[in-house]
Amino acid sequence: MFKERAGLIVWISDLKAAKSLERYGSIHYISKKMSYVAMYVNAAGLEDTTKAIQKLSFVKKIERSYRTEIKTEYNSNVPDKTAFYSY
């Protein structure tokens, strides 16, 4: 149903030209102060998309987000201390 997405942080030099990145994927956030764009692109064509974005004149650097590779399920092996502190 949903396509696999990958997150990109694109550092830019021109904020007005940042809107043109919408044709490569969906823009999540544009930082005016720090001049970057957080966006999601199709994971199947990630390498081709990053090469195409890098060729744009206003793009300084592209960083890939590793959020999908971080473990988000946690287990608690630490014993519960609520019984110790209750009277």
pTM of the model as a whole: 0.76
DSSP 4: P
Residue 18: CB atoms within 10 Å: 22
Instruction: Answer whether CATH 3.50.30.30 is correct for domain 5-66.
Output: no
- Kindly list the domain boundaries of the chain, sorted by start residue: 5-66
Q: Mean pLDDT for the chain?
A: 89
pLDDT digits (tens, 9 = 90+) for 62-78: 999 888 788 878 777 77
Average pLDDT rounded to a whole number, residues 48-70: 92
